Amino acid sequence: MGIGVKVKVWGEYALFSRPEMKVERCSYDVITPSAARGILEAIYWHPGMKWVIDKIYVQKPVQFTSIRRNEVKSKISSNNVLPVYNGADKPLYISTKSDIVQRASLLLRDVSYVIEAHFEMTEKAVESDNPGKFKDIIMRRLKRGECYHTPYFGCREFPANFCLCEDEKIETAYSGEKDLGFMLYDMDFSDLDNIQPMFFRALMKDGVINLRDCEVIR
């Protein structure tokens, strides 16, 4: 196992969309491992290392709220871009009057997690890359609150606050065991022509989801 770190993340709202909900978004009960990885990559990413999520600590009770908002149902056609670039007269805009729709979303509110993770070196690491170097950079960025872009909880409109967690004992909101069902684990990018989702059975014990030995289903 590589070098580990604990990061506390919290925010007002979160939306970790279930893939089976096609139109109106519905969030999982807790943050997904892929969303947790995305937050850590927003803080520090390098081709010579990769993040692996070990545990997720749920620090606040799961609370849902529903919102309804205006969205557009289409996007600019990529087939129109090149002809317009070459002088053709085709529209390169979206008319909100004709494309606007109202959609409901089931969100999480008032969330707080501690992400326990480690990083491993990849084949893209160069001679000057080493675990000690990456560890120093990560710790420095966490203590200063630095990030490449603002981390978010599932959607960019729901920003995530973060800080280094140095607590030896992490308090959680639950005791006992709770089965959260199947959740999205991550996406398998090993074949870029056939990207596949991966799922796992999320079992929360005393407010902690342990991902170290979970079974991943493709």
Q: Is the pTM of this model over 0.85?
A: yes
CATH 3.30.70.1290 corresponds to the domain 3-67+106-217: no
Cα dihedral 217→159→28→182 (10° resolution): 10
* b/e sequence 63-79, b meaning 16+ C-beta within 10 Å: eeeeeeeeeeeeeeeee
The tokens of 114 are what?
């501690």
Per-residue pLDDT at 3: 67
pLDDT tens-digit readout, 85-102 = 888 877 777 777 778 888
Q: Which stretches of the chain are DSSP H helices?
A: 33-43, 78-85, 96-99, 131-144
The tokens of 36 are what?
């947790």
Q: Interhelix angle for 131-144 vs 33-43, to 10°?
A: 90
Name the strand (E) or helix (H) holding 114. Answer: strand 100-121
Confidence bin at 1 (pLDDT 50/70/90): very low
List the domain boundaries for the chain: 3-67+106-217
